[in-house]
Structure 1
Amino acid sequence: METSGASHLLRYRKLENFFSASTSEDIGAPLKVAAKEEVGRWADVFKDDDGWVSIMISWLKIITCLMTMMVTTIIWALIMLVLIPWPYERVRQGNVYGHVTGRLMMWILGNPVTIEGLEFANERAIYISNHASPVDVCLIMWLTPTGTVGIAKKEIIWYPFFGQLYVLANHLRIDRSNPTAAINSMKEAARAVVKNKLSLIIFPEGTRSRSGRLLPFKKGFIHLALQTRLPIVPMVLTGTHRAWTKGSLHVRATPLAVKYLPPIKTDGWVADKIDDYVKLVHDLYAQHLPESQRPLVAPDPSNKS
C-alpha cells in the first residue's frame, strides 16, 4: 500500500499538516486502515446511523461544503479573469482550485481515505474513475495532477458558480445533442489535449450508479485514447456510494479507498477493436472492486442446471 505523497500534493504540505490534525487520513504517515481490502470490508459492514442528530450533522456538512466551494470559486474566478490571455495557466490554476477545494470538502465530510498507487498519479494520461457519489467529484478534484482537464456536457456553463469557473479554467465541453455533434466535439477535445500536452479526466460510465455497482462503460474514453495515444490510468474508488448515496442528503463517515492502477498503454490500439478495449478496462475495474460494487452478472439462459 502506498502512503507517500505525489508531487502535486506535496505542494500543499502546510495545508495537509493542518488537515491531518483533524482526520484519520494522512498522506505522509501510516494510515489507520492497514490495507485496501480492509477498507472494502469496513464499507460493506458499515452501520448507518439514521437518527436525527446524524441527519442534522449531514446537513451541516453539506451546507459547509457548499459555502466553502462558493468562497473558493469566487477567489479562483477572479484569478482566472486576470489570466484570460493565458489559457494554459488557467488550466493549471483550475487544477490548483480543485486540489484545494476538493481537499477542503473531504476534510469537512470527515471520511478516512486510503490511497494506493500514487506512483501512477503523475502520468500524462487519460484518468478514468467509477462514479457512484458526489464524493467522487471531491476526490477527483483533489487527486488529479496539474495539467489535467475534464470533459463535460456543454450545458455545464449554466451551473451556478461552478459552471462559469469550469469554462474560465479552459476545461473542455462536448455537444451531446446528437451523435454527429458528440463525435466532432470529441475530436476537437482530443486535438486540444494533444496540442497543449494535457491530461484528461473522465467518468466512463457517463452517469452515477445509485447502488454503487459498476455500470457499463461508454466508448468515448476509448475514442479519446485512439486519437491522443495517451495511456489510460484507472482510478478505482471504493465505498463512496455508502458515504453519500445518489439522490440522498445523508452523508456518512464510512471509510473510502482510492487506488490508481498501472497505466494501460494505447499506442498499439486499433479502431476495429473498440468493444474489446472497453471490455478489457471494465473487467479490470470489476477485478479490483469489492463484491458489493461489482456489476451483477446476468444468468446464462443456456445453463438449466
Structure 2
Amino acid sequence: MYNSTWWKNLEYVIARWEYDHKIEARNGNLWMHASTPRNGSEIFNPMFESYVDASSAGPKLVAKEKVVEQPPQRAESDEYRGDDGWFSVFISWIRIVVCFISMMFTTFIWALIMLVLLPWPYQRIRQGNIYGHVTGKMLMWILGNPIKIEGAEYSNERAIYISNHASPIDIFLLMWLTPTGTVGIAKKEIIFYPLFGQLYVLANHLRIDRSNPTAAIESMKEAANGVVKNNLSLIIFPEGTRSKSGHLLPFKKGFVHLALQTRRPIVPIVLTGTHRAWRKGSLHVRSTPITVKYLPPITTDDWTADKVEDYVKLVHDVYVKNLPESQRPQA
C-alpha cells in the first residue's frame, strides 16, 4: 500500500518541476538539492534533485545559490600588477625599437673609430668604454627607469667588478657605469651579435669557450696577464648566465681564479629591480625603479688557491645579505 497523499504530492511536484525547469533554464539559474534534509518529513527525489516536503500541499524546492567561478586574482604584492595594459605594452615596444636603432647607430660610429685604432689595443679598450658610457646612459634614458646609485665612491677602483645578472638592462647599466680601462669577459658566441659583437671584439674585450673547460682556463690566464700588464679592471657576471626568475643563482669559480692571479680586489655591484623592469625572454619593459649599489672592495691579497670554494661562498653570501627577499636564492 502507498500513501495516497504522498503520491498526489509527487505527481504535483513532477508537473511543477517540468514547468519550473523551463522557466529557470531560460533565466540561466540552476536548482540543486541541499546537502542534508532539514527535517525528517523531507523525502529526496533523485529525478529532479530536490527535497519534497510530504506534509505540505505542494513541493518545496531547496535552492542552492548559483556559484559563479571568479578568475584567479593577483595578490596585492604582485610585482607586475597594473603594468600589463595595452598602452603600457605599446609604449614599451616603442622604447625597445628606439633603443635598438640608437644602439645600432652608436655601434656603427664606434666600429669605424675602432678600425682606425687597430694598431693601438689599449686605445681601443678606452674607446670601447667611452662607447659604453655614451650608449648605456642613452639606452637607460630611453627606457625611462628611475635609477638610484649607491656607493659610487667604490666605482673607480682598479678591481674585478662583479654583478648579479637577471635582465638585459644589467648590461646597459654596466656599460654606462664601469670605469674607463675596464675589459669584459663574455661567451665566445657574442661575436655573432650583429655589430655589437664585432665591436666587442674590436674593443679588445675577452671571450671564453664555456663548452671547453681547458680552453676557458687558458683564456682566464691570458685575461689575468693582460689585466696586470696594462693596469686594467675586469667586469664579469659570476653566475655565468641570466637568472630568469631574478633569484640569485650559484656562482662560478672564474672570478675567484682571476682574483688569485691578478690580486685585484673584488667590488660587488648589487642590482635590484632590473628583473622586474625587463625579464629574461620578454619584450615588455616596465618603469620599475632600479638600484645600483657598489659594495666596499673585498681584499684578495691573502687569498690562497686551496680555498677557492670558501671564497665563492663568501662573496655569494655578501650578495644574499644585500639583495631583497624577492631576489635571494630559492630554497
User: What is the TM-score with the length of structure 2 in the denominator?
Assistant: 0.75
Partner of 1:9: none
Determine whether 1:254 maps to 2:263. no
Deviates further, 103-112 or 149-158: 149-158
Distance 2:285 2:82 in 1: 10
Partner of 1:269: 303
Quote how far apart the aligned CAs of 1:45 are: 5.1
Partner of 2:114: 80
Quote how far apart the aligned CAs of 1:175 are: 2.3
CA contact 1:217–1:282 (8 Å) conserved in 2? yes
Determine whether 1:163 maps to 2:197. yes
Q: Return the match for 1:55 from 89, 101, 106.
A: 89
CA contact 1:48–1:252 (8 Å) conserved in 2? no
Distance 2:175 2:133 in 1: 6
> Secondary structure of the equivalent of 2:303?
coil
Distance 1:229 1:44 in 2: 43
Letter in 2 for 1:279: K
Quote how far apart the aligned CAs of 1:54 are: 1.0
Q: Which residues of 2 match residues 119-158 of structure 1 at below 5 A?
A: 119-158=153-192
Instruction: Describe the superposition over 1:138-167 as per-residue Cα deviations: whole angstroms up to 9, x where unpaired.
Output: 100000000000001222111110000001
Distance 2:167 2:324 in 1: 16
> Secondary structure of the equivalent of 2:320?
helix
Q: Which residues of 2 match residues 1-305 of structure 1 at below 5 A?
A: 47-297=81-331
CA contact 1:236–1:258 (8 Å) conserved in 2? yes
Letter in 1 for 2:318: L
Distance 1:107 1:174 in 2: 31
Quote how far apart the aligned CAs of 1:79 are: 0.8
CA contact 2:93–2:284 (8 Å) conserved in 1? yes
Q: After the TM superposition, which segments of 4 or more aligned residues of structure 1 sit over 2 Å from their partners?
A: 43-48
Quote how far apart the aligned CAs of 1:178 are: 1.6
Distance 2:275 2:201 in 1: 28
> Secondary structure of the equivalent of 1:235?
strand
CA contact 2:163–2:236 (8 Å) conserved in 1? yes
CA contact 1:190–1:224 (8 Å) conserved in 2? yes
Distance 1:175 1:241 in 2: 26
* Identity rate, percent: 77
Q: How many residues align?
A: 255
Distance 2:255 2:317 in 1: 15
CA contact 1:46–1:254 (8 Å) conserved in 2? no
User: What is the TM-score with the length of structure 1 in the denominator?
Assistant: 0.82
Q: RMSD of the alignment, in Å?
A: 1.2
Inter-CA distance 212–251: structure 2 relative to 1 (3 Å threshold): same
- Structure number with higher relative contact order (C-alpha < 8 Å, ≥ 6 residues apart): 1
Quote how far apart the aligned CAs of 1:176 are: 2.3
Instruction: Describe the superposition over 1:38-72 as per-residue Cα deviations: whole angstroms up to 9, x where unpaired.
Output: xxxxx975634211111111110111100010000
CA contact 1:215–1:295 (8 Å) conserved in 2? yes
Distance 2:86 2:242 in 1: 27
Letter in 1 for 2:165: H
Letter in 2 for 1:281: V
CA contact 1:234–1:261 (8 Å) conserved in 2? yes
CA contact 1:44–1:292 (8 Å) conserved in 2? no
Partner of 1:39: none
Distance 2:80 2:192 in 1: 37
Instruction: Find the structure with the greater CA-based Rg.
Output: 2
CA contact 1:95–1:147 (8 Å) conserved in 2? yes
Letter in 1 for 2:214: T
Deviates further, 256-265 or 185-194: 185-194
Partner of 1:35: none
